[in-house]
Structure 1
Amino acid sequence: MASNGHNFLLNLAVSGYFLLMLAHLPRQAFSGRSLPLGFGQPPEALCAAAINSLGYKCQEFEAITDDGYILSVQRIPEGRAGGRGGGSDRPPVLLQHGVIVDGMSWLLNSPDEALPLILVDNGFDVWISNTRGTRYSRRHLTLDPAKQEYWNWTWDELVIHDLSTVADLVFNQTAQKIHYVGHSLGTLVALAAFSEGRLSDRIKSAALLSPIAYLSHMTTALGVVAAKAFVGEAVSILGLSEFNPKGVQEEMFMKTLCDNPEVNCYDLLTALTDIALKNEPQSTSTKNLIHLSQTVRDAKLSKYDYGSTQLNIEHYGAPDPPVYDLSKISGDIPLLLSYGGRDALSDVQDVEDLLDAMKLDKSLQVQYVKNYAHVDFVLGVTAKDLIFNRVMSFFRNQ
């Protein structure tokens, strides 16, 4: 059964991004060089915080992007006692979360309902990614997260740097091509990467849950109002290069948005007690949110628009930012797209537009779940039966 509270919260988190303001293994470095201290200190490792105590082995890795960001990656190599055994033949699966959350978002349910643990108990080698700026990946070789320069990125950089770096880590550690699971923004970066011919030598197949690319029909009022009001640009102008959902200035913007008669924020506090108290919302760059708002307003999927012809020419050699051409996604990577009829962010019409744009046939499977909303694809109590078993079957058939 879909959860209205979860649906309200995560739809706002991913689309409007201004919603939440009210409120034991040694590390291994993926690099030929030893890992310097860099800027920023990691918190308690995700393995220790959420996985080891449940009886699972868990390994912490650090992957360094070519632009210097130090990403935290967790590996759950085998199931609990009584589960299927370990071994190098276990197919690797990489999980990529959405925006304003991190890898912990996959682990908020009980072990019997959490996708990473279901996968590993069914014979898969599970890897969990944490994108730059979130609590487990808030480090850099030379840049300080307290400074503006650290936050000068959008999801374009996640496509170019983060996704490929983590995929290389998993591939190099396992010597196998990877099954990929993305949710929300995790689907967007994968689709953008595939459209540019990236990762074809690393990814074996991909399951995209609540896929987002086109956002023209998004029905979340707060997200639409935020995007069309250029709120992201306003925050940037004020010098907030880091968007911290718990920040004071961000809270003032939230209040302004909730005063808009088109927006209903009544259920916000109720939703917060359900998920945010378990997993505090994570920072992202304000520039990233501006980029997402451009996708809403411009009704197309393109690289970041710098707001002037001159700046776009400097960055792209053209007056307009390049468009991600989803028709160029080849059939080399089998895809499973799973979407819901109650999803206010990954709207049914937008998903149908995405399917039309990709022009795929035999390499594409589609699952429609009428009563599912955005967050149900990660936290729904029936997700194991409706979604996760379908994902595992899809992977095993590749």
Structure 2
Amino acid sequence: MEISVYCVGSEILKHEMDKIGPSAWNSSWYKSISPALHNPLRIVILKSNMTKVFTAGGLITISLQTLITMQIFRKYGYLGETHEIETEDGYLLDVHRIPPKTPDPNLPPVLLMHGLMGSSENFILLGPKRSLAYMLSDKGYDIWMPNSRGNFHSRKHRTLDPDHNNTYWMFSWHEIGKYDLPACIDYILESTGKPDLIYAGHSQGTTVFFVMASERPEYQSKIRLSMSLAPSVFLEHTKHPILRAVSKYYRYWDRLVLQTNQHEFIPFVSNDAIRYMFKFLCSKPGRLQDLCSNLMFMLIGFAPEQLDKKIIPLVTATVPAGSSARQALHYAQEIVTGKFRQYDFGKRENRRRYNTTIPPDYNLNISTPIGLFYAENDMLNDVRDVTKLSKVLPNVVKMYEVPYKQFTHFDFIVAKDVKTLVYMEVFDLMKKYNYNLDINTDDTGDNYNNVKK
């Protein structure tokens, strides 16, 4: 079936798709990446990072980056699917799936959740044999990678336009944990027919798990095992100099956001032309590429020995992926207070929302088995804060400190040696939570399996 393709003001991304080849515009390919894309009639590429696909059954909206990501999967021999999930408050989320080539009934599905300003691409940056998503797929797991509200894949809503309605951006990571994760989990379990799944989050991906487990405790039993890579819960001892300096003035920044109506955090990252300009500039070896890597080190920590410069173009094309200003402000509040609590709107609004002037703390009495993976050189998550978290949680089954002194926050997804330094420990823990094994975990806390400190 022939498809008519119209590109409106997005020649850079049309060029990217054309480089992939004819299959990028093939109707059977569209149908294969998304169960919803049946009988596409017309594909319209817009300036706003989205592709509108007109089908016999209605209009489907999908991000251009999703199309490229699906082709990356195919390039390396992996199947790829895109599922659009609607949350109970109307946000539309793109979830990328790598289904197993040979399904194993003994393996639970796996949900991989990205961090702040991240996306599902975080788990494929290193390519085959090194990226977490690919390696788990090779082991037979069914991989699901949601994109939280506000990033370039999920910048859409049933009724709100993110470009013209600030109400769209009135969320922090609280709403991601309360609404996005439950919607994704329900969809995954219904689609696979499995009773529960294994969860792995990086950075904010760990934060939102603990929010969900606190605010929606009925979901604790739906998580067979939760693994926190760079657990971001208590942030009192954060060593990042920029974050510490900015956090002191979070109330000022909050007012500034309201007064300027800049509710999208770093709004230009949703512009495909700008992101792919960075990809192009950072792909050439030399001073520009060194500048790109130095900017990364400034934001996430310094570990040049673990950086594979070949992945810089893909990193700069997908990171940062977008978020709301409130997500960053919520973390600033955590740094200042040293508490893991709900968003502080100010005394008057707090009283209206919470019936108290101080936001309530999240309840961390969580029954789900939890593994904590952390690093000494992580400037965002200090070892003291991770230790504090481990003492509060009642069912920590593994504490693992990365045995590499220079390992940083972002290295959990981009370090050259992350497979041997971290992922082998992740795989070892996951084996104990497959369906064919009976796991007995101690609910008293301080009973870690294979503890490494």
Length-normalised TM-score, structure 2: 0.71
Are 2:310 and 1:284 aligned? no
Pairing partner for 1:132 from 144, 149, 162: 149
Shift of 1:88: 4.9
Are 2:339 and 1:300 aligned? yes
1:248-267 correspondence runs (5 A): none
Instruction: Please tell me the residue identity of whatever aligns with 2:338.
Output: A
1: CA distance, partners of 2:134 / 2:422: 14
Query: Per the alignment, do residues 212 and 36 of structure 1 end up closer, same or farther by CA in structure 2, a change over 3 Å counting?
Result: farther
Write out per-residue CA displacement over residues 46-76 of structure 1, whole angstroms, 9 at most, x where no aligned residue.
5424212111111111110000011001111
Identify which range, 190-199 or 165-174, moves more after superposition.
Answer: 190-199
Identity %: 29
2:411, 2:418 within 8 Å by CA — same for their partners in 1?
Answer: yes
RCO greater where, 1 or 2, for CA within 8 Å and sep 6 or more?
Answer: 1
Q: Please give the secondary structure, in 1, of the residue aligned with 2:428.
A: helix
Residue number in structure 1 paired with 2:34: 27
Write out per-residue CA displacement over residues 350-382 of structure 1, whole angstroms, 9 at most, x where no aligned residue.
11111122244xx52110114221111111111
Are 2:206 and 1:187 aligned? yes
Residue number in structure 1 paired with 2:233: 213
Query: Per the alignment, do residues 36 and 132 of structure 1 end up closer, same or farther by CA in structure 2, a change over 3 Å counting?
Result: farther
1: CA distance, partners of 2:337 / 2:177: 20
1:17-96 correspondence runs (5 A): 24=29, 25-28=32-35, 37=59, 42-45=63-66, 47-79=69-101, 85-96=102-113
2: CA distance, partners of 1:41 / 1:76: 17
Residue number in structure 2 paired with 1:322: 360
* 5+ long unaligned stretches in structure 1: 1-23, 80-84, 248-265
1:303, 1:324 within 8 Å by CA — same for their partners in 2?
Answer: yes
Query: Per the alignment, do residues 182 and 198 of structure 1 end up closer, same or farther by CA in structure 2, a change over 3 Å counting?
Result: farther
1: CA distance, partners of 2:231 / 2:267: 23
Instruction: Please tell me the residue identity of whatever aligns with 1:364.
Output: V
2: CA distance, partners of 1:301 / 1:154: 14
2: CA distance, partners of 1:218 / 1:268: 24
* 5+ long unaligned stretches in structure 2: 1-28, 37-55, 270-289, 297-308, 434-453
2: CA distance, partners of 1:67 / 1:358: 30
Query: Per the alignment, do residues 63 and 122 of structure 1 end up closer, same or farther by CA in structure 2, a change over 3 Å counting?
Result: same
Write out per-residue CA displacement over residues 19-38 of structure 1, whole angstroms, 9 at most, x where no aligned residue.
xxxxx325236xxxx99758
Shift of 1:201: 3.2
Instruction: Please tell me the residue identity of whatever aligns with 2:153.
Output: Y
Query: Per the alignment, do residues 120 and 41 of structure 1 end up closer, same or farther by CA in structure 2, a change over 3 Å counting?
Result: closer
Q: Which has the larger radius of gyration?
A: 2
Pairing partner for 1:164 from 178, 182, 194: 182
Length-normalised TM-score, structure 1: 0.80
Query: Number of residues paired by the alignment?
Result: 342
Are 2:391 and 1:374 aligned? no
Pairing partner for 2:253 from 232, 240, 243: 232
